[in-house]
């Protein structure tokens, strides 16, 4: 039976994603027990939470939110032994995931949901290693999780509907925007959509049609602005004017199919990798990376604040 209220969350793995999750949970007024075997993990985690905190303050903290509610426990089993929810953020390796979930499953209470931040694996890959595999699922966030609301919730062969519903409710309660993915896919849904975009972007660079800075500008200063507000199906609907999506599909459908047939299928050869890396280097030549990240977060906070006040967006 999975029905416990969540007041204390274990964050397993405190790299970029895990630290961001920890900051988010703290900002929502929860106790966080974090664990990571890396040297200096605790000091790096606390520094990362401190760096994220000003943006979270600007977005608005939950009552009783405090960085003092963060506790670091070196031993995995002790960290998960007395919590209400587990968010795992270990390396994207099947053997590592299976061993982590074996250990977490043994130590955590049997009614505690065990969620993985895995960006590529479905839970069926590792859930059978855990005791009570019906409570194991994927809760895949987007970087940085303390700012970007979306979470993809994915069940595996053994995951119960009760666990999925409880995870959806928990993520929504802590201010996330969860969507339920109804079957396991390599990369889930959003990474597959992103991969389709990356494939064509890399092909266009490889073919000499555009440079790396130009393809990035094409998205950031064009459709990317609209994508922050609406999804691709709704945007196509608006493109159709009074006729809506039907008009778009009827009139632009043949062009769309011609473009699909002409899309590239690049391979990540050493030459293409080198060209992409060099292009990003050119793009960032006059930019301070730390200042860029700070400005990204500031603009994300502004966008999230504005969207929270919008009443007519889905």
In DSSP notation, 179-209 reads: EEESS--TTTTHHHHHHHHHHHHHHHHHTTS
Residue 3: band (very low, low, confident or very high) from pLDDT cuts 50, 70, 90:
low
- Residue from 121, 126, 119 nearest 150 by CA: 119
If one counts every other C-beta atom within 10 angstroms of the C-beta of residue 303, the result is 13
If one counts every other C-beta atom within 10 angstroms of the C-beta of residue 305, the result is 12
Q: Answer whether 0.85 is exceeded by the pTM.
A: yes
d(CA 278, CA 82): 48
Domains of the chain plus CATH, in order, are 8-181 (3.40.50.720), 190-283 (1.10.1040.10)
Q: Which helix (H) or strand (E) holds 115?
A: strand 113-116
pLDDT tens column, 236-291: 999 999 999 999 999 999 999 999 999 999 999 999 999 999 999 999 999 999 99
pLDDT tens column, 206-224: 999 999 999 999 999 999 9
d(CA 143, CA 21): 10
Q: How far is CA 20 from CA 13, 127, 134, 146, 287, in A?
A: 11, 24, 27, 5, 24
pLDDT tens column, 20-71: 999 999 999 999 999 999 999 999 999 999 999 999 999 999 999 999 999 9
- Residue from 51, 41, 52, 47 nearest 15 by CA: 41
Backbone angles phi, psi at 186, to 5 degrees: -60, 120
């Amino acid at each position: 039976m999975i029905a416990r209220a969540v007041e204390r969350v274990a964050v397993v793995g405190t790299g970029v994603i895990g630290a961001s999750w920890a900051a988010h949970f703290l900002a929502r007024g929860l106790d966080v027990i974090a664990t990571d075997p890396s040297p200096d993990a605790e000091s790096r985690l606390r520094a990362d939470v401190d760096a994220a905190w000003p943006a979270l303050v600007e977005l608005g903290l939950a009552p009783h939110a405090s960085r003092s509610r963060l506790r670091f426990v070196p031993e995995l089993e002790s960290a998960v032994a007395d919590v209400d929810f587990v968010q795992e953020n270990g390396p994207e390796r099947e053997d590592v995931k299976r061993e982590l979930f074996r250990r977490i499953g043994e130590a955590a209470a049997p009614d505690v949901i065990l969620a993985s931040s895995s960006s590529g694996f479905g839970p069926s890959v590792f859930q059978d290693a855990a005791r009570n595999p019906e409570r194991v699922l994927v809760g895949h966030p987007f970087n940085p999780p303390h700012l970007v609301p979306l979470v993809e919730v994915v069940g595996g062969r053994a995951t119960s509907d009760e666990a999925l519903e409880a995870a959806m409710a928990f993520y929504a309660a802590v201010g996330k925007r969860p969507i339920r993915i109804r079957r396991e896919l390599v990369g889930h849904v959003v990474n597959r959509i992103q991969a389709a975009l990356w494939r064509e972007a890399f092909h266009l660079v490889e073919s000499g049609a555009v440079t790396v800075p130009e393809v990035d500008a094409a998205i950031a200063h064009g459709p990317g602005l609209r994508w922050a507000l609406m999804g691709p199906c709704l945007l196509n609907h608006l493109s159709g004017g009074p006729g809506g999506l039907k008009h778009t599909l009827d009139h632009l459908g043949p062009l769309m199919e011609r473009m699909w047939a002409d899309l590239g299928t690049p391979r990540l050869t050493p030459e293409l990798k080198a060209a992409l890396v060099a292009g990003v280097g050119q793009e960032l030549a006059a930019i301070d990376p730390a200042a860029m990240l700070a400005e990204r977060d500031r603009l994300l906070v502004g966008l999230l604040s504005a969207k929270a006040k919008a009443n007519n967006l889905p």
